[in-house]
Amino acid sequence: MSFLQSCGQVRKLIAKADSPVSYSLPLGTNNIALAPLLEKQLHLRYTGKITCIHCKRSTNKSFNQGYCYSCFQKLAQCDVCIMSPERCHFEAGTCREPVWGEHFCMQDHIVYFANSSGLKVGITRASQLPTRWLDQGATQAVAAIRVRTRQQAGFCEVLFKEHVSDRTNWRAMLSSKQEVVNMAQERDRLLALCHRDLTALQNKFGLHAINILQSVEPVNFSYPIVSYPEKIISLDFDSQPEMTGCLLGIKGQYLLLDTGVLNIRKYTGYELELTVS
């Protein structure tokens, strides 16, 4: 028996750091709990409608995970410095939206290490932990430095990128073969490698601005996965507007179906129809 679960604009999965991580799928005005849908048959259909998550206007194409082209071009949250925070130009007076920049970028950020597809470095607003780790499908994570601004976090990240990746290999993240890392040991090793340059940043911005967090304990996460896919096939609504599969698990922003894996965040703003059987 099949029934229509919901239809509406999709947003990124909402994750909560339970054991295992609990997920819900925002679809229109509903947040659909995904744990009860494990091992059930899902049918997802893209209706062809995309709505910009900022201005709410219809758009033929989504940019930067949910924006129309106009918003993509003018919003500070779509600027190059979001992906490369060391290139922040707020102090130069050229921020696209100074009020937004003041609220988003001029607040405490965390430089962290995570094990998602292997050891990586990353940054996020302090208020976004552990959500950022869950969105990346990290099984282990540890905070390393707390800073006062996003740009300062970017400067720190650049130092660590000389020694460790800043990216998640999504295929490896969705594989069952993931080695356990001694996160406290790796944090201390990387801090030692970058000690001289971190001291220079502290001398420039002040000890209060670049705060090393060596006493913070690492955290571990497990995910609701019945079984991992034998072969990782990426599903794409733009080329395949309808797809069906048994839900085998959820990790990061991915639904793991027996027919392929689907990155929900990629389709933010798309109108989807979900049927469960």
pLDDT over 70 (residue 78): yes
Contacts of 204 (CB under 8 A, 6+ apart): none
Q: Parse the chain into domains and list their residue ranges.
A: 3-50+223-276, 110-220
In the structure encoding, which two tokens stand for residue 112, read together?
A: 């962290």
Tens-place pLDDT, residues 145-160: 999 999 999 999 999 9
Supply the angle between the helices 183-193 and 195-205 in degrees, to the nearest 10.
Answer: 70
Cβ–Cβ < 8 Å for 111, 155: no
Tens-place pLDDT, residues 12-52: 999 999 999 999 999 999 999 999 999 999 999 999 999 99
| Integer angstrom CA distances of residue 82 from 92, 106, 153, 157, 182 | 16, 13, 12, 13, 30
Classified as helix, coil or strand, 60 is coil
In the structure encoding, which two tokens stand for residue 223, read together?
A: 């995910």
* β-strand pairing of 254-257 with 242-251: antiparallel
Tens-place pLDDT, residues 121-136: 999 999 999 999 999 9
pLDDT grade for 231, boundaries at 50, 70 and 90: confident
Matching residue, tokens 């990216």: 167
Q: What pTM was estimated for this model as a whole?
A: 0.94
Cα–Cα distance, 54 to 242 (Å, whole number): 26
* β-strand pairing of 260-263 with 41-50: unpaired
